[in-house]
Structure 1
Amino acid sequence: MKTVLITGANKGIGFETAKQLAQLNHYVYLGSRGKANGLEAVRQLKELGITNVETIVIDVADINSVREARAELEAKIGSLDILINNAGIAGNQPQDLATSSIENLRRIFDTNFFGAIQTTQEFLPLLKKSSQGAIINVSSEVGSLAVHTAPQRNPNRAKYHAYGSSKTALNAFTVMLANELNDTGISVNGVTPGYTATDLNQFQGAKTPEQGAMPIVKLATQSHPGITAKFFKDGGEVGW
């Protein structure tokens, strides 16, 4: 039974990812900023007969919270097999980079980019103790420079420029870290759920959370040391 930590797992795509991985016989720690929300998520899963789950309080934007979560997990397990950096925020609208407030940008980056980095740094020692560790960064196609510069690009993506920029930075971190860890056997990849209906986009997405979780679960269950520094979606790869 592999051990998995998913940040931002008390709702939305993170919750569905936890549910599906637990159903596949993984032991899943559901990261939640608030303990009550995390316990409620675990209660919902246990009502479905899923018992191989626990909650752990972690606010990825707060280094002290991340360190406390790491210490708590270290006391429970000898190694961590999969870290899924899922926690993210959309930020306030509008997000035109010519006028968006620096405060809004910093808040988005603190969670979506720096939060993923400091969480990864803290849990990396536990991942290195796994026989086949994997780091999965949940990104977005709005962070893909290839998508934004394609001839058929969608001009409506402009409303997500600040959010998208944070995911572009996360993509760069994914590639650089994968190269750093190339000799350790730990795979590092990005994955996009697609346009999924969650509170991050006021439930406007075309996919359900169950559908959005599927490419994440597929990557988590097929992680291999030789597959690293790649960006996946339903049906294949995404250009960086």
Structure 2
Amino acid sequence: MTAKKTVLITGANKGIGFETAKRLAELDYFVFIGSRNPENGLLAVKELNALGYKNVESIQIDVTNSESIKNAKVTLESKIQKLDVLINNAGITGEMPQNASSITLSNLRAVYDTNFFGLIEVTQHFLELLKKSDEPRIVNVSSDLASLSNHKNPEYPFYEAKVTAYCSSKTALNAFTVMLSHELKNETRFKINSVNPGFTATDLNHFTGTQTIEQGANAIVKYATIGNDGPTGGFFDDQGEIAW
């Protein structure tokens, strides 16, 4: 591979993940398009190829399936010596409504399996490859709906959006970011952050978001490519730090 750096993006066959893949390909990263459905991954690669990006490849990975994650690791290890960036983008909202008093445990578990447990398992499996990079980066795609400070603030624009499974799974994701960055604090090359894309129009919210896909990818790309003087263990959007 001639690209200077490598990146794996989960859930990259569409939406913000796809836009992030395109932007990083523009920056000469070799991009592995993580997709639960292999056919969708191949279609995403075909679309990027048509736009002139040849430094992309599809890799099948279902973040809720341990065997799929292990197979993706083996596949990646056969292709590259190191992984420079891991972007944990795959996520779901779950079934609605999600009132705290009545949400089903099956709905709660399904959301956490993707947004939290799956993210942790993917990260743990690819840490070995990341540690071989000179400048390893992990971006955990979160949401401002994860902020407990926001949820206690009546002035917050989405104060009424108490979506129990989705919001709390992203709060838990943020806690994992803090714990992992602390554990690896002596590995000063690592930069591990939670990033909020903002309320972006994707199929995740039935295209009701107020931001474009391009705007949504800005913060993810920024923290995937930060230098060695950049922050770690934080929670950011494209305007700066967000309160936990």
TM range, smaller chain: over 0.9
Q: Are positions 1:137 and 2:143 aligned together?
A: no
Q: 2:18 aligns with which of 15, 20, 26?
A: 15
Contact kept, 8 Å, 1:84 with 1:135, in 2: the verdict is yes
Please give the TM-score of this superposition, normalised by the length of structure 2.
Answer: 0.96
Counterpart for residue 30 of structure 2: 27
* Aligned-CA RMSD value: 1.0
Tell me the distance in 2 between the aligned counterparts of 1:105 and 1:223: 37
Deviation string for 1:54-109 (max 9, x for gaps)?
Answer: 00000001111000000000010000000000000010000011101000000000
Counterpart for residue 127 of structure 1: 130
Tell me the distance in 1 between the aligned counterparts of 2:169 and 2:137: 22
Superposed, 1:55-66 pairs within 5 Å as: 55-66=58-69
In the TM superposition, residue 4 of structure 1 has moved relative to its aligned partner by: 0.3
SS in 2 for 1:155: coil
Superposed, 1:1-240 pairs within 5 Å as: 1-153=4-156, 154-158=158-162, 160-184=163-187, 185-224=189-228, 227-240=231-244
SS in 2 for 1:157: coil
Tell me the distance in 2 between the aligned counterparts of 1:225 and 1:79: 21
Please give the TM-score of this superposition, normalised by the length of structure 1.
Answer: 0.97
Contact kept, 8 Å, 1:134 with 1:223, in 2: the verdict is no
Letter in 2 for 1:231: F
Tell me the distance in 1 between the aligned counterparts of 2:229 and 2:33: 24
Letter in 2 for 1:155: Y
Deviation string for 1:173-212 (max 9, x for gaps)?
Answer: 0000000011112111010000001111111000111110
Tell me the distance in 1 between the aligned counterparts of 2:164 and 2:229: 33
SS in 1 for 2:24: helix
CA gap of 1:204–1:151, structure 2 versus 1, over 3 A, is: closer
Percent of pairs with identical residues: 56
Q: Give unpaired runs (5+ residues) of structure 1.
A: none
Q: Give unpaired runs (5+ residues) of structure 2.
A: none
CA gap of 1:120–1:212, structure 2 versus 1, over 3 A, is: same
Deviation string for 1:131-152 (max 9, x for gaps)?
Answer: 1111110000001111112241
In the TM superposition, residue 227 of structure 1 has moved relative to its aligned partner by: 1.5
- Structure 1 stretches of 4+ with a deviation exceeding 4 A read none
